[in-house]
Structure 1
Amino acid sequence: MSAHPSSLFSPSHGYTDLASGGEPLSPLDGRYRAAAAPLANYLSEAGLNRARVHVEIEWLIHLLDHRVLPGAPTLSDDERDYLRQLPRSFDSSTIAALASFESVTKHDVKAVEYLIGDHLEKAASVLGPDSVLPKLREVVHIFCTSEDINNLAYALTIQAAVTQVWLPAAREFLSRLTRLAKEGADIPMLAHTHGQPATPVTMGKEMAVFAHRFQRQIRRIERAEYLGKINGATGTWAAHVVSVPGADWPAISRDFVEGLGLTWNPLTTQIESHDWQAELYADVARAGRVAHNVATDCWTYISMGYFHQNLAAQGSTGSSTMPHKVNPIRFENAEANLEVSAALFDSLASTLVTSRMQRDLTDSTTQRNIGVAFGHAILAFDNLVRGLDGVDINAERMAEDLERNWAVLGEAVQQAMRAAAIAGATGMANPYERLKELTRGHEVGEAEMRDFISGLGLPTDVKEHLLALTPATYIGLAPSIAHWVEGANE
């Protein structure tokens, strides 16, 4: 009996082992690499290790510059520059050296310590035989548990990823919403509440709503706190106090953490509690959900013909078998990636706030997915920007729908009748019921609506005002509302 066809993909059947070639498993490192690539500077394994090296080096310099360790030498400017060159020049050769050390240590942070130790030993060949750096091997990682380094490294890389990658991408998306709000400010559109024709708006006003919602989330994220700690194995500075009892360790730690540009967390277990991460991820996920709403509404507007897709700007093929189609793939891609991103951020936010007793390692593998969550969000923003750049507002199509829905003026007539009754006009009783009888289940066109208004016995000025109204002009303050978000991206 022959093997099942699927088994033929096994390397034992002569098929190439793709895993041996380093093929990416994640689409963010394969198909979508270009969009997500900027995050690799911060949220990749290499980015994390560079930050670890940075923290270790700065801790060493901090202790020596503040003369915390009795008998320790003073660093020269050249020696400080030499130390700081290690994280600054972190490249493929550094990554390879670190991997080599980790193959021996079987511990990622310990490998960083060995890498720095090796850097210290080579200092004499660069700075001369009088350099004190080769003698400082025991200062590297002194008084630190791995989490003292990790929590600070993660805080720095996440902060950089948000400020240098996520926020610029989000603001770029916001700028497109703001532009579309302005372009469509005066273009009337039939609204659809519960999927049914409703009081008209303008396309610009609807985009302004999204811009306002999204801008609020950006502002929350701009105010995010990034916390850090450096207080030893269980947050008590126990080894510190025993080894150097005369030092003000809380003050030293606070100065160091704040000097890195982070907020000091004074009360922790072995780990920094990650609450700030949960807060940040909830905000980023919420921003993504607002963007998701933009994607689904734009998809719907395209399907209704309210948006016309610019083929040249989209630069894409529709169906493989139906040449007439131009699929709204940018919005579909964004929708899906925002769902993946939100799911990951929700998981991160809910799991990172829990650690058994003083320490467990569940956060270690969990935090390695932070870059994936941000990557899907960045990919979605990229698609949303390209999608919005590739659509034009189809005013003619929207005008057709408005003309077919004169019944939406029923709300205006009803409310005008109520106001007239309050002002003393007679014959205005039961306005809702009278409009319901006219509009519900009946085709109501311009003639029917105008005849109805003329026969109500309204005061002349009210009647003339209503008779001048059309679905396209029944848009209230929508044009001015659309401009309330001008400059939202500034």
Structure 2
Amino acid sequence: MELGAGVGGLNVKSTTPCLTPSTHIKARNLYSSRAYSYASFRSHQSPICKASVKENSISAESVSKVNTMSAADYSMDVELSSLTALCPLDGRYWGKVKDLAPFMSEFGLIKFRVLVEIKWLLKLSQIPEIPEVPRFSAEAETYLQNLSDKFNMEDALEVKKIERVTNHDVKAVEYFLKQRCQSHPEISKVLEFFHFACTSEDINNLAHALMLKEALNKVILPVMDKLITAICNMATANASIPMLSRTHGQPASPTTLGKEMAIFAYRLSRERKELSQTEILGKFAGAVGNYNAHLVAYPDVNWPQIAEEFVTSLGISFNPYVTQIEPHDYMARLFNSIIQFNNILVDFDRDVWGYISLGHFKQITKAGEIGSSTMPHKVNPIDFENSEGNCGIANGGLSHLSTKLPISRWQVNEASLIADLDHSWEVLAEPIQTVMRRYGVPEPYEKLKELTRGRAVTRESIREFIERLDIPVEAKSHLLTLTPHTYVGAAVELAKNLDTITSLVNGANVL
């Protein structure tokens, strides 16, 4: 989301009258060098290319390394800097968008995954029907909370190191937390309840929701407010200055500069309001949205209620009807609001560009800046052109996401579904390992992985595995009754309660 670059073409103070006939608009240098604020990233990109980000953006050493590139294979060993970054957002525009980095980067994603995993373990400790996770002491809760609150770059690099082994980003977070808690006398007793009954998307969808929520509230909406305030001040400061209107590019009835600016302030304000009111949703219903593993392990717990309490405790609205994924309809609405905001901004950019072209506005020159390599007199409106271009690029990406994310491919063929189930006994690995977690069996996930991954799993092999488990007889008997046909969690109840839920959402019965 490149809003930071998109709205960056206006440089005004909120207390200063900005545009009058022949008003000087100060052209800013978008291309100055800058240092990275979020540094110490280090990764190995490929066998022939190594990269890292350090505090300095350009160094003589990095220039020397670039000069040693092989003409044959273009291999290079070079520091990542504003000159070597592949994306302009991480290069020349970094200074415009760096405030988004704590939330929208991979570091931000990992940090929010850690937060969700920890909050879920704390939630489990508060459920009376789960005695295997007793309520934590104040010291243990503080220890867990600090793992999230004090999560730093070194921690994120440790997660990435684990991921190089697991080749699974969410599992790497789980293993990281287990490592950090294995020496704690209290938390070490419940390590297997990290990621309990969760699918990766339970963690990811909430992490993404928190990323968007924080980025909106702390960066995007404040930037929009600053822009709208600046244009409002332009409108009031120039409310009485007359100017010729133009329709179809031709002279038309006079207006005032202030009124033309007020139009943009009003339009942008409406889109800003629409964006701020977009409800951010989350799910926490397991691998296919039915609480399957939850109900096998703890059939007496009201898991839909627990999930709703957990999701809303994060400041996110709860979506009760999901598959493995949250449908992302809210993301489509959110991205479309940003697209429309950017469209209005493009209209503003083009109008101001036109006023400059007509000579109605002038840009303030700055000593040392050059407008053209051959025409010394030029002061080009590059900020407005740059804003227009970046809005277009941002809108292209946002448009793709708003149409791609909400679409799922599957349709129902009941006969095929039954055949699928008959040949899919490996799906019972999830409830078995979840019950094993409940009763403290060491490394339940890893044991089921050894049994099922890349192997043909049959009813007989599953039964043999269950029979060997050191768990209570009643739990073993319950697992032995499970089949792929019966392991549907709360799916039946969720479907039957749809009319009630829809009524609550809409305020009236609609079915």
TM-score (norm 2): 0.65
Q: What one-letter code is carried by the residue in structure 1 that aligns with 2:71? A: H
Cα shift at 1:122: 3.4
Cα shift at 1:343: 0.8
Cα shift at 1:73: 2.1
Q: C-alpha distance in 1, partners of 2:353/2:258?
A: 16
Q: C-alpha distance in 2, partners of 1:15/1:146?
A: 38
User: 2:448 corresponds to which residue?
Assistant: none
Cα shift at 1:224: 1.1
The answer for unaligned runs of 5 or more in structure 2 is: 1-65, 412-511
Q: C-alpha distance in 2, partners of 1:318/1:15?
A: 37
The answer for unaligned runs of 5 or more in structure 1 is: 1-7, 124-130, 359-490
Q: C-alpha distance in 2, partners of 1:32/1:11?
A: 25
User: 2:387 corresponds to which residue?
Assistant: 334
> Could you tell me whether the CA contact under 8 Å between 2:372 and 2:378 is conserved in 1?
yes
> Could you tell me whether the CA contact under 8 Å between 1:120 and 1:136 is conserved in 2?
no
User: 1:166 corresponds to which residue?
Assistant: 220
* Structure 2 counterparts to residues 140-151 of structure 1, below 5 A: 140-151=194-205
> Is 2:70 aligned against 1:12?
yes
TM-aligned CA distance change 1:67 to 1:285, over 3 Å: same
* Structure 2 counterparts to residues 280-299 of structure 1, below 5 A: 280-299=334-353
Q: C-alpha distance in 2, partners of 1:315/1:44?
A: 35
Could you list the per-position Cα deviations for residues 272-300 of structure 1 after superposition, in whole angstroms to 9, with x for gaps in the alignment?
00000000000011001101111011000
* Structure 2 counterparts to residues 312-351 of structure 1, below 5 A: 312=366, 316-351=369-404
Which of 210, 229, 236 aligns to 1:175? It is: 229
Q: C-alpha distance in 2, partners of 1:12/1:327?
A: 38
TM-aligned CA distance change 1:18 to 1:193, over 3 Å: farther
Q: What one-letter code is carried by the residue in structure 2 that aligns with 1:13? A: A
Which of 168, 179, 190 aligns to 1:107? It is: 168
Which of 241, 244, 248 aligns to 1:187? It is: 241
Cα shift at 1:40: 0.7
* Structure 2 counterparts to residues 353-372 of structure 1, below 5 A: 353-357=406-410
Q: C-alpha distance in 1, partners of 2:368/2:333?
A: 38
Q: What one-letter code is carried by the residue in structure 2 that aligns with 1:263? A: S
Of residues 171-180 and 62-71 in structure 1, the stretch that sits farther from structure 2 once superposed is 62-71
Q: What one-letter code is carried by the residue in structure 2 that aligns with 1:98? A: V
TM-aligned CA distance change 1:43 to 1:19, over 3 Å: farther
Which of 257, 262, 282 aligns to 1:228? It is: 282
TM-aligned CA distance change 1:76 to 1:201, over 3 Å: same
Q: What one-letter code is carried by the residue in structure 2 that aligns with 1:204? A: G
* Structure 2 counterparts to residues 392-471 of structure 1, below 5 A: none
Cα shift at 1:95: 1.4
RMSD: 1.9
Higher helix fraction: Structure 1 or Structure 2? 1
Q: What one-letter code is carried by the residue in structure 2 that aligns with 1:275? A: D
TM-aligned CA distance change 1:323 to 1:199, over 3 Å: same
TM-aligned CA distance change 1:278 to 1:237, over 3 Å: same
Cα shift at 1:315: 8.0
Cα shift at 1:231: 0.4
> Could you tell me whether the CA contact under 8 Å between 2:126 and 2:134 is conserved in 1?
no
Q: What one-letter code is carried by the residue in structure 1 that aligns with 2:190? A: L
> Could you tell me whether the CA contact under 8 Å between 1:155 and 1:227 is conserved in 2?
yes
Between structure 1 and structure 2, the one with the greater Rg is 1
Local SS of the residue matching 1:267: coil
Q: Percent identity?
A: 41
Q: C-alpha distance in 1, partners of 2:313/2:396?
A: 34
Cα shift at 1:152: 0.3
User: 1:258 corresponds to which residue?
Assistant: 312
User: 1:31 corresponds to which residue?
Assistant: 92
Q: What one-letter code is carried by the residue in structure 1 that aligns with 2:126? A: D
Q: Give the number of equivalent residue pairs.
A: 343
Q: C-alpha distance in 2, partners of 1:343/1:299?
A: 22
Q: C-alpha distance in 2, partners of 1:316/1:85?
A: 48
> Could you tell me whether the CA contact under 8 Å between 1:51 and 1:157 is conserved in 2?
yes
Q: What one-letter code is carried by the residue in structure 1 that aligns with 2:259? A: K
Q: What one-letter code is carried by the residue in structure 1 that aligns with 2:390? A: N
Local SS of the residue matching 1:65: coil
* Structure 2 counterparts to residues 23-102 of structure 1, below 5 A: 23-102=84-163
User: 1:428 corresponds to which residue?
Assistant: none
